[in-house]
């Protein structure tokens, strides 16, 4: 713990990390509020500047990782849905007969497995986001700079 860091700097840095949770109430609040707090204080308070960069870089990194997961999952979901529609033969009105040709079911299983893994990775990213933001808030309150584990340094 650095004694040269004032209580105000610690508080502002902790609020920046804590403000990333506004995304659960306001769309893109995890970018808007930390960015506003960081921009208002970055020139005056170096500890707040370092923490603001860390918080914003981490939120951008999480968004990038989630976007990549979504880009991978979307075509698999569409292809799986198309295979399921052809399996149930929904195109014929008033006819809900199932086509019991199970030749394409292994593809559905592989797709479901891949989508399950992608969903699990998404949950892991969510947990990392929540836990790391809480840890960063507590560290900032103590006067320590927390380096997020999977963060890409977009803002240096």
pLDDT at residue 77, as a whole number: 84
pLDDT of residue 151: 92
Q: Are 144 and 17 in contact (CB under 8 A)?
A: no
Quote the pLDDT of residue 107. 63
- Exposed / middle / buried, residue 29 (Cβ in 10 Å: 0-12, 13-18, 19+): middle
Tokens of 70: 């979504």
pTM tops 0.85:
no
Mean pLDDT per block of 10 residues along the chain (156 residues) reads 81 95 93 93 92 95 96 87 60 56 63 90 96 96 93 90
Where are the chain's structural domains? 7-142
Q: How much is the pLDDT for 112?
A: 82
Residue 30 CA to its chain's centroid (Å): 10
Residue 145 vs residues 19, 47, 55: alpha-carbon distances, Å:
17, 8, 11
Burial 82-112 (b: 16+ CB within 10 A, else e): eeeeebeeeeeeeeeeeeeeeeeeeeeeebe
């Amino acid at each position: 713990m650095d004694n040269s860091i004032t209580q105000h700097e610690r508080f502002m840095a902790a609020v920046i990390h804590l403000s990333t949770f506004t995304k659960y109430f306001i769309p893109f609040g995890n970018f808007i509020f930390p960015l506003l707090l960081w921009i208002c204080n970055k020139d005056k308070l170096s500890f707040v500047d370092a923490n603001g960069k860390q918080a914003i870089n981490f939120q951008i990194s999480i968004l990038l990782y989630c976007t990549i997961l979504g880009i991978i999952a979307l075509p698999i979901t569409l292809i799986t849905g198309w295979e399921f529609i052809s399996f149930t033969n929904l195109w014929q009105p008033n006819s809900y007969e199932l086509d019991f040709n199970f030749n394409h079911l292994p593809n559905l299983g592989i797709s479901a497995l891949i989508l399950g893994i992608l969903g699990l990775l998404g949950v892991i990213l969510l947990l990392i986001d929540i836990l790391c933001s809480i840890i960063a808030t507590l560290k900032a309150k103590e006067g320590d700079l927390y380096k997020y584990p999977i963060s890409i340094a977009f803002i240096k």
